[in-house]
Amino acid sequence: MELLLAIVIGGLYAAGLYMMMRRSILKLVLGLALLSHAANLLIFTMGGLSRAEPPILATAADATAVADPLPQALILTAIVIGFGVLVFALVLVHRVVQTVGADDLDKMKATDT
Amino acid sequence: MNLVLVLPLLIPLSTAILSLFWWKSPVGRRAIGVGGTFLLLLNGLWLFATVWRDGIQVSAIGNWPAPFGIILVADLFSAIMVVIAGLKGFAVAIYSLATIDRGRESFGYYALLNFLLLGVCGAFLTGDLFNLYVWFEVLLMASFVLLALGGERPQMEGAIKYVTLNLIASALFLAAVGLLYGVAGTLNMADLAQKLPEAHAAESVTMIAMLFLVAFGIKAGIFPLFFWLPASYHTPPVAVTAIFAALLTKVGVYALIRVFTLIFVQEVSYTHTVILVLGGITMVTGVLGAIAQNEVRRLLSFHIISQIGYMIMGLGFFTPLAIAGAIYYVIHNILAKTNLFLISGIMHVLYGTYELKKLGGLYKQTPLLAALFLISAFSLAGVPPLSGFFGKLILAQAGFDREHYAIVGVALAVGLLTMFSMTKIWLEAFWKEPPQPPSESGKARLFGPGATRYLLLSPIALVALLTLVLGVWAEAALAVSLRAAEQLMNPAEYIRAVLGKTS
């Protein structure tokens, strides 16, 4: 299972980075979204995959045999933050396309030094 | 609950929310925005006094004990940074009263400024790595909006680059946090410092350390990760650039110093050598980039990068004296660099441009401004008896102690080049005959009756005075930095404060 998830994470990173290197800024934002999903899945995998009981001590017989709830809590927080950031990035892209008149990173060189 | 630790978060948060309530009242949102930053400054001083007197302060949020719950910690370094954040927030808020236009104000400029300070103070005070990620996102979100507010074309182009590279840094940071949790099973910084040596995973820890170096390095703007900074920092109004220059890259430097003195100290000979080399290259590339520029804000943006190199170099030497030098340098640089940005804003008020070619004759127009510029510029270049000289002296001393002669030579040569590029601004903007006379409206704002001139000049004068004080009383400032560095280099005290007792 870890191997499968490792391949999925690697694929997500590769796809995300590929999208970010395209010239279209909409694809750049999609790449960012893929990148944050890859990071979330990485936390999930690194937290340790096990078929343990849910971490509710009243029902679990043994306190050591329950699953670790922390990675899920971290991922939940990261998903919420990632969602907010993604929404902002989409609005920014919309405004950029309106102001610059193109969806092309090569046309945005005026501020480069 | 330790009030002195929670207030640096509560004050900016409630200020920001209150100024959202007074959204439509120009006077109300201004008064609340500036008042909040002043309260934050007072609170920072209180925090500093408490930490100086009673040692490291800890507060467990929600009363969950240390390795499980989120905790706030303030050691001397954090306290110094909170004071500086409050000070710069206050100075920039006053300056904004005169320079930020109505349009930006009515879209919540002061609320965003306080949200930014909230994120910055949170990053300085948290004792948990994942919580640090959350605070980074808070300050990034506020900075995104501040950068794009106004919607001019250069701002939009700059914002795309700034947003993208900072979000990549955040994704890398998050991945590194996940990997570290897999290795150590905890994310509390003090707990990590205790558990990592026992984890027997030196290789993977070093790999994770390098991932953190890249993530924080993008935010701090070290070589070769700084390209977002000169592409975006010169696009927003100068007050925004000044607060960014003062605080955002320094949060990255703070995070680097924190994790590379507390957590990743297993393979110092490898990790800190990498940091040292990167610091050296950062200094050189930054200053060379600055020399090539002819626009004041772009020139100063490249100097930010160059100065980050000095702080990173101090971390790379990894002795108490060097860390003290890095802390002193952070304080000095925040004061001097922000002041130069604020002064460039006054050039813009008078001449309506930042291009060196179109500026001139400022010495004749306002000798006071020229004097304030000289204090900040000489301080940045490292002329005694100003603060930059002592910062460089301490760092050079620490480098000689570790027998890193080459990089100390590089640092001193970069100081000379900094001097050269400051002279360039002086000659072009202050001395030469102006190609065009200053605009009448600008002159009316700066010399005419009304409060504008005081709003523009008083923050610059205040900060220039502090730069002088920092230089003249270098011994006292160095004693504070040394004590902060001792705390960083002996993490036992920090670990005991966090894990031993929590109120």
Hey, which residues does B57 pair with through a beta bridge? B74
- Return d(Cα B130, Cα B177) in angstroms, integer: 7
B105 alpha-carbon distance from chain centroid:
24
B73: β partners = B58
Q: Which is nearest to B177 in space by CA: A81, A1, A16?
A: A81
Q: Which spans in A21-112 are helix H?
A: 25-46, 70-100
Residue A62 clears pLDDT 80, i.e. is over it: no
Interface mutation target, options B131, B143, B149, B181, chain A, most CBs of A under 10 Å? B181
Whether B175 sits inside 8 A of A39 (CB atoms) is: yes
C-beta atoms of A74 and B177 within 8 A: yes
Q: How far is CA B110 from CA B24, B31, B149, B454, B459, in A?
A: 12, 9, 12, 19, 17
Shortest distance between the Cα of B148 and any Cα of chain A, in A, equals 8
Specify the pTM: 0.93
Q: How far is CA B151 from CA A30, A99, A113, B228, in A?
A: 22, 8, 20, 18
Which chain B positions have a beta carbon within 8 Å of A43's beta carbon? Answer: 174-175, 177-178, 181
Shortest Cα distance, chain B CAs vs residue A53, angstroms: 19
The DSSP element (H or E) to which B72 belongs, if any, is strand B71-74
Inter-chain residue contact A71 with B178, CB threshold 8 Å: yes
Report yes or no: B339 and B463 within 8 Å, Cβ to Cβ: yes
- Three-state SS string across B37-65, please? HHHHHHHHHHHHHHHHHHCCEEEEHHHCC
Q: SS3 string of B156-211?
A: HHHHHHHHHHHHHHHHHHHHHHHHHHHHHCCCEHHHHHHHHHHCCCHHHHHHHHHH
Q: Please report the sign of the dihedral spanned by the C-alpha atoms of residue A48, residue A54, residue A56, residue A58.
A: negative
Residues B341 and B380 sit within 8 Å (Cβ to Cβ): no
Q: Which residue of B has its CA nearest to A39?
A: B175
| Contact assessment for residue B53 and residue B106, using Cβ atoms and an 8 Å cutoff | no
CA distance A85 to A20: 16
Radius of gyration of chain B (CA): 22
> Which value does ipTM take for this structure?
0.92
In angstroms, rounded to a whole number, what is the distance separating the alpha carbons of residues B372 and B456?
12
**Which of A13, A79, A111, A112 is the best residue to mutate to test the B interface, defined by the most B CB atoms within 10 Å of its own CB?**
A111
Which chain B residue is nearest to residue A107, measuring alpha carbons? B157
Q: Render each residue's pLDDT in chain B as its tens digit; 503 residues.
A: 688 899 999 999 999 999 888 878 888 888 999 999 999 999 999 999 999 999 899 988 888 877 888 899 999 999 999 999 999 999 999 999 988 888 888 888 999 999 999 999 999 999 999 999 999 999 999 999 999 988 888 888 889 999 999 999 999 999 999 999 988 888 999 999 888 888 777 888 999 999 999 999 999 999 889 988 988 898 999 999 999 999 999 999 999 999 999 999 888 889 999 999 999 999 999 999 999 988 899 999 999 999 999 999 999 999 999 999 999 999 999 999 999 999 999 888 888 888 888 888 888 888 888 999 999 999 998 888 888 899 999 999 999 998 889 999 999 999 999 999 999 999 988 888 888 888 888 888 878 777 788 888 899 999 999 999 998 898 899 999 999 999 999 988 898 888 875 44
Closest of B307, B216, B222, B306 to residue B264, by C-alpha: B216
Please list, in sequence order, all residues whose beta carbon lies within 8 angstroms of the beta carbon of residue A85, skipping any fewer than 6 positions away: A32, A36, B137, B140, B141, B167, B170
- Chain B residue closest to A28 (CA)? B164
CB contact under 8 A, A28 and B158: no
DSSP for residue B252? H
Q: Looking at chain B, which residue has its C-alpha nearest residue A77?
A: B134
Question: Nearest CA to CA, how far is A51 from chain B (Å)?
Answer: 17
Which residue of chain B comes nearest to A84, CA vs CA? B141
CA-to-CA dists, residue B122 to A74, A77, B18, B126, angstroms: 18, 16, 19, 6
Mention the CATH class of domain A2-107: mainly alpha
Parse chain A into domains and list their residue ranges.
2-107
Tell me which of B132, B136, B156 to substitute to probe the interface with A (most A C-beta atoms closer than 10 Å).
B156
Q: How far apart are CA B26 and CA B22, in angstroms?
A: 8
What is the phi/psi pair of residue B100, to 5°? -85, 130
Instruction: State the Cα–Cα distance between residues B96 and B432, nearest whole angstrom.
Output: 29
Enclosing H/E stretch for B423 = helix B405-425
Taking CA atoms, A75 is separated from A39, A70, B27, B179, in Å, by: 9, 9, 42, 13
**What does the alpha-carbon distance between residue A69 and residue B161 come to, in Å, rounded to a whole number?**
36
Listed in sequence order, the residues at least 6 apart from B448 whose beta carbon sits closer than 8 Å to its beta carbon are none
Residue A112 at interface with chain B, using a CB cutoff of 8 Å: yes
| Nearest alpha carbon to residue B303 among B294, B290, B322 | B290
How far does the CA of residue A6 sit from the closest CA of chain B (Å)? 13
Q: What's the gap between Cα B482 and its chain centre?
A: 20
Q: Which residues of B touch A (CB under 8 A)?
A: 130, 133-134, 137, 140-141, 144-145, 148, 151-154, 156-161, 163-164, 167-168, 170-172, 174-175, 177-179, 181-182, 230-232, 234-235, 289, 292-293, 298, 302
Which residue from B113, B238, B219, B121 is spatially nearest to B176, judged by alpha carbons?
B219
